[in-house]
Structure 1
Amino acid sequence: MAFANSDGVSIYYERHGDGPAVLFVHGSGGHHAAWWQQVADLRSRFTVITVDLRGFGKSDSSMPEFDGQDFPGDILAVLDQEDLTDVVLVGQSIGAVAALRAGLSRPSRVSGVVLAHSLGGLADPELSELVAADRSEAVKLPVLDRLLSKSFQENEPAKTFLFQQMGTFNVAKMADLRNLSTGGPTVEEVVGSGLDVTFLAGENDAVLSAATVRRAHALVKGSRLELIPDAPHSMYWERPDLFNAAIVRVREAISA
């Protein structure tokens, strides 16, 4: 448990285990503790780092407003303080946007980025249109139904309640982060960087369709695709067995 300095902002993070490094970046309703099922499972084989972006969890939340453009710097501050190299960044939803930008800006430390249930803010007209179409369908559903399956909500009421409570520890809200993807990298920039990129998503994701993820994978030449059957948007929470297995495959492939 420690803090890193990101341009004067205190960023909370934790480091667990030993081995090749994986750093997890939470989504808009999460923070470092959202990864409890990943830390417990993966720390025996990897160095697992969890971080709170500014405005979330234990990181500094005193600023009058939040700018998602600052999130990549929060990740880099942790990497620099721990002097980590050959790190795989795993970003969930909005966290994937920050992870991709951090990876592109610091190739000396980041060897791969996993975009979990997100296209990482790629600036591409075709993909933007597909994402907008997916979102227009998603907003027809209650927020919880977009993130967790109905069967999970019915069969796991305690874990569903805890999932909802996670966001109550955060000051920053999604409404504060509307410019998160502004000025995102183009497909050509990502491909040209040589960064190892993986698209990880569930076939049953109600926020980002499998078809959209497949198209992004096709456009980003050389990228990896982990499209998991019967998995929802918050696979890391609802089906950690599937999510964690995918992370192991990616981390070990990059290490090899």
Structure 2
Amino acid sequence: MHIIYILFLCILPCIAKPNQCSPVLDSIYPWMRLPETPSLPEPLQGSTVKINGVTIWYAIYGPKDAPPVLFSHGGFGHSAYWGLQIKALMSKYRCIVMDSRGHGRSTVSSAGITYDLMASDIVGLLNYLGIQKAHMVGWSDGAINILNVAMKYPNRQLSVFAFAANYIPSGVKDISASPVFTGFLTRSQCEYNLINPQKNYTYLNSCLMTMWATLPNWNQKDFAKITNNIPVWIVDADHEEAIYRDQPDTMTTWIKQSGELILPTTSHFSFMQKPEMFTQSIKRLLDSCYE
């Protein structure tokens, strides 16, 4: 997605509060809120592994014999953004988070960042962990990643929960007028500088902007590759500020076994704005696989 870094004052009733990396936005409207970045469960027991020439940071929570659920975060984000969902699901599921290449605590190489590379990283981590199949939950770029896994790596998924994905670059809005999204961008840059071992935000930004200019570039034939009859939920928010509504609507019609879910009164950051509702939606999909 093409992102323009212009900060605007909030035009709806918002109150800025201090935060280590950026303001926390509060509002009477849930979709105008940017809560504090969640945290992963303590103690933070992350590990790293070399995959495809980069170092991938990951962490695992929950019983070893429980069904595995892998979470893939959005562009400029990192694993902690899934913290509220991990805490709610880890008693029943084996929750795996990973920082995408170049994000969070993971490194990036001269190969840069593409959706194909990130999908290969996901499968590489599963191979390293000895996991043949996993449920996959993704947000934004992470949702594109797990859809890409479904297309290119058959039989590696138990289910797909894809939130806020686009299938073509023109499916992305100009988010520069959104105080929530621009607040996230300011915050995520600060967080990157705090935790990334390479601390080359300029390169990360260049990689993502280059990718978003032309990718993803999928059509109905690409989605027809998702032939294994796993449950697929295409999910978005009714106040989505980054993705045009035709994107989830169309993808749902192109994946024969998929269903569409639109989460009310939230935006691209629904998992933080109304975490209980978001997590219950994931849980409904996961639990339906074992009924």
- Please say whether Structure 1 and Structure 2 have the same fold, judged by a TM-score greater than 0.5: yes
Rg larger in structure: 2
Contact 2:175 2:241 in 1 (8 A): no
Contact 1:206 1:232 in 2 (8 A): yes
The equivalences for 1:165-184 within 5 A come to 165-168=190-193, 169=195, 171=201, 172-173=204-205, 174-178=208-212, 179-182=214-217
Which residue is 1:44 aligned to?
91
- Percent identity over the alignment is 21
Contact 1:203 1:209 in 2 (8 A): no
Post-superposition offset of 1:163: 6.2
- State yes or no: 1:20 paired with 2:56: no
- Between the two proteins, the alignment pairs up a number of residues equal to 233
Residues 116-167 of structure 1, C-alpha deviations (whole Å, 9 max, x = no match): 1114x3xxxxxx4xx73x53xx31642544x49xxxx8xxxxx998667445
Q: TM-score, structure 1 length as denominator?
A: 0.78
Match 2:225 to one of 189, 194, 197: 189
Match 2:174 to one of 139, 150, 153: 139
User: Over aligned residues, Cα RMSD in angstroms?
Assistant: 2.8
- State yes or no: 1:206 paired with 2:251: no
The code of the aligned residue for 1:36 comes to G
Structure 2: tracts of 5 or more residues without a match: 1-45
Cα 1:54/1:140, change in 2 over 3 Å: closer
Post-superposition offset of 1:209: 3.9
Post-superposition offset of 1:76: 0.8
Q: TM-score, structure 2 length as denominator?
A: 0.70
Which residue is 2:22 aligned to?
none
Post-superposition offset of 1:61: 2.9
The code of the aligned residue for 1:251 comes to L
The equivalences for 1:1-256 within 5 A come to 1-18=46-63, 19-63=66-110, 65-119=112-166, 121=167, 128=168, 132=170, 135=172, 138-139=173-174, 141-145=176-180, 147=181, 165-168=190-193, 169=195, 171=201, 172-173=204-205, 174-178=208-212, 179-182=214-217, 186-190=222-226, 192-256=227-291
Post-superposition offset of 1:68: 3.5
The code of the aligned residue for 1:175 comes to M
Post-superposition offset of 1:62: 4.8
- Cα distance in 1 between the residues matched to 2:147 and 2:285: 16
Q: Which structure shows the bigger proportion of residues in helix conformation?
A: 1
Contact 1:104 1:193 in 2 (8 A): no
Contact 2:62 2:95 in 1 (8 A): yes
Structure 1: tracts of 5 or more residues without a match: 122-127, 154-158
